[in-house]
Structure 1
Amino acid sequence: MAQSSRAWSARIELRGGGGEPVNLARTLLSHGVAELPPNVIASDGSSLESVLVAGGDAWRIRLVPDGAARATVQAPADSRIPPAAARRELLAQLRHMLRLDEDLSAFYVAAAVDPALEWITNGAGRMLRSPTVFEDVVKTICTTNCTWSATERMVGALVSELGQPAVGAPERRAFPTATAVADAPPEFYRDVARAGYRGAYLQSLGAAVAEGRLDLEVLRDPELPDDVVAERLLEIAGVGPYAMAHVMMLLGRYRRLILDSWTRPTYRRLSGRPRLTDKGIERAFRRYREFAGLAFWLTLTESWVTEAEPAVAESLATQAESAAAESLATQAESAAAENLATQADPAAAES
């Protein structure tokens, strides 16, 4: 753990479970739900700011690139330093969010010989996820049958009104607990979040999780078959085929394609086949087997990543220049201090 001018900082190695490279910007820009509160992602993918709960408190963190193969976690200087156990928990949450335990090397081998997906082998393909499955399910329900601005309003209200305030910055909040979601009155969902029919679904989901009647985190278990996970998700009120496929993707289960009112026409346009059916789309990605849904998503969203990369490179260069300037300034200060000490004690200089 390295001390800095900030309250605390630490480095994370950007390497996947199979030793494959992980590109931070390509991961942060992987999908729109990743940008919902409490996350704030720079438009060029050069940083992630969020509020995460660890050790019973909510902490502000900032994640930025530190060269090509690692990232630096930073916390604001005006925030109290988290206890050691909380720092370890925060780092574990960030590694989980970045999916650094996931092995995409087999997917990279297949993509390397596909001209349409060769670009992803330089560290793309990881879908930024939330610290908990509960958070991902709630956010996904808030994307169903509505505009993106409505999704932002609903999730924003959940965080700003129900989330735990961050240490040193009560205006920033973490994603709410299941108990907080369950205990919010119907008026909150109707008048503040304006969640419509989703309000009852969110409240009942929070109650089921808070009371222990539903364990969403167990769905991370890789031993569970895909069909079992899909069945359990579809049992949740508010989760239909689209939401199920979306949550499955965030769980690292990529066999199913997310087929909705945006993905279908987008792929038909990109492929030049305006009458292509769902089965036709699925056939086009069948060769990717357990990664079919991921290959489909990356085909649709390539421009999100590649169009931002010139700005990412410029941002990294600026960060490098700032770091170099700061280093030179520190060296100059040290030299000046040493010179003053020598002038004050000539005998020390002679010894």
Structure 2
Amino acid sequence: MPTSHTLRINVVPPFDLDVVLGGHGWVALAPHEYQRERRRLHSAVDLSTLAGGRGPVVDIELRPGPKNDVLSAVVSGRRALERAQLELVRRALTKTLSLELDLNPFWRRCSKVPRLRWVADQGAGRLMCSPTLFEDLLKLLMTTNCSWANTKSMVRRTTEALGRRAPSGRRAFPGARTCAAQPESFWRDEIRTGYRAAHCKALAEGFSSGELPERLDPALPTAELRRRLLALPGFGPYAVGQALRLLGHFDDLALDSWVRKRAAQLHGLTPGDDRAIAARYQDFERYAGLALWMDMIADVPVDQL
């Protein structure tokens, strides 16, 4: 029988789990399952991807407290977890929900803009991330030049083919070492990533070797981090902009055709006028990209992001 532990994670209001998980589409990707009516997030985490290659796979059920000031995480393993392992889970959840971010300066600016007051009131702006940067970047590769349905399928196939099972049977997302061990043909033929196959292989090898974790330090200035991300095979300006947001750098607008169209409609701009879009958000300075994204998602269901 699995052994369960309960972690309490304090959060600073304003905080709303639905708002965080609805910030973009990651919650719809494997290994996550969100029961919106019950406000329960089910997932699995392979602790070996967080602890140098060793550790069990655990099930996680995350739910908010009645006052949105605390989260309760039920963590289940095949045997009792050590204190250090539970601390890994706590840190993984803190990263996943972007709880370490101080967005008070951003919220103060949003409170002065009528259409963005909801952001300040609800504490929006935290974006769901993955426990590891490798997982975020591999998933971002799978969003490029394809439909959202194809993205979900590629992520699901990766998880099902390579992920270790938690006690519930749910598979966790695999780590870089496991992914790097697969030939390029695996990514092309089994995961059906198409032209991305070589890029997936190269990304996994870069993380498995330790080279990329050192090069992609979130503490780097945005311009340098952008330059290094753009050097990754398969990463163009849009994917890099999204990666920067997940790394806590929000000044990049990360414009693609969908964002350009919605921004033009919202502000009455000529479609494709990127300078005009940038001018609309220049007062937000280092939060310009986050303010733009909040405008984009204000009335869009998460399954359409």
Query: Normalised by the size of structure 1, how large is the TM-score?
Result: 0.78
Q: Which whole-Å deviations, capped at 9, do the CAs of 1:204-256 have from their partners, x for residues lacking one?
A: 111122123322675222xx111110011011001110010000000010001
Whether 1:252 and 2:248 are equivalent positions in the alignment is yes
CA distance in 1, matches of 2:82, 2:138: 30
- The separation in 2 between residues aligned to 1:10 and 1:81, in whole angstroms, is 14
Q: Does residue 213 of structure 1 match 2:211?
A: yes
For the residues of structure 2 that align with 1:66 and 1:56, how far apart are their CA atoms? 29
Amino acid at match of 2:62: L
Specify whether residues 231 and 296 from structure 1 end up closer, same or farther in structure 2 by C-alpha distance, changes over 3 A only: same
| C-alpha distance after superposition, 1:11-52 (max 9, x if no partner) | 11112xxxx522211001110134311122234692221111
Give the match's secondary structure for 1:257.
coil
Matches within 5 A, 1:260-271: 260-271=256-267
Corresponding position: 1:187 with 2:215? no
Q: CA deviation at 1:104?
A: 0.4
1:149-164 to 2 correspondences below 5 Å: 149-164=149-164
CA contact (8 A) 1:190 1:196 kept: yes
Aligned-residue offset at 1:191: 2.2
Counterpart Cα distance in 1 of 2:82 and 2:300: 38
Change (3 A) 1:56 1:28: same
TM-score, with normalisation over the residues of structure 2? 0.90
Q: Counterparts of 1:304 and 1:84 in 2: how far apart (Å)? A: 40
Radius of gyration: which is bigger?
1
Which residue of 2 is the match for residue 281 of structure 1? 277
Question: Are 1:98 and 2:97 counterparts?
Answer: yes
Distance 1:208 1:182 in 2: 8
1:73 partnered with 2:68: no
31-40 vs 148-157, greater mean Cα deviation: 31-40
Q: Map Cα deviations across residues 83-109 of structure 1 (whole Å, 9 max, x no partner).
A: 222111101110111111111001111
Pairing 1:230–2:234 present: no
Q: Distance in 2 between matches of 1:65 and 1:97?
A: 15
Q: Which of the numbers 28, 33, 48 marks the counterpart of 1:35?
A: 28
Distance in 1 (CA, whole Å) between partners of 2:212 and 2:62 is: 32
Q: 1:126 maps to which residue? A: 126
SS across alignment from 1:165: coil
How many angstroms does 1:266 deviate by? Answer: 1.6
The aligned amino acid for 1:156 is R
Match in the other structure for 1:63 = 62
Would the aligned equivalents of 1:134 and 1:216 in 2 still touch at CA under 8 Å? no
CA 1:64 to 1:201, structure 2 compared with 1: closer, same or farther past 3 Å?
A: same
From 196, 202, 205, the counterpart of 1:204 = 202
Residue in 2 that maps onto 1:24? 17
Quote the Cα distance in structure 2 between the aligned partners of 1:235 and 1:275. Answer: 29
Q: Which runs of 5+ in 1 are unaligned?
A: 307-351
Q: Report the equivalent of 1:87.
A: 86
Report how many residues are paired.
293
- Measured on the aligned residues, the alpha-carbon RMSD in Å equals 2.1
Give the distance between the partners of 1:275 and 1:240, measured in 2 at CA.
21
1:308-349 deviations in Å (ceiling 9; x for gaps): xxxxxxxxxxxxxxxxxxxxxxxxxxxxxxxxxxxxxxxxxx
User: How many angstroms apart in 1 are the aligned matches of 2:210 and 2:128?
Assistant: 26
Q: Once the two structures are superposed, what CA deviation does each residue of 1:123-170 show, in whole Å capped at 9, x if it has no partner? A: 21101111111111111010000011110111111111111221x23x
Provide the residue aligned with 1:14 in structure 2: 11
In structure 2, distance between residues paired with 1:216 and 1:115: 41
CA distance in 2, matches of 1:269, 1:36: 29
C-alpha distance in structure 2 between counterparts of 1:203 and 1:178, whole Å: 9
Q: Tell me if the contact between 2:110 and 2:116 (Cα under 8 Å) persists in the aligned partners.
A: yes
Which residue matches 1:339? none
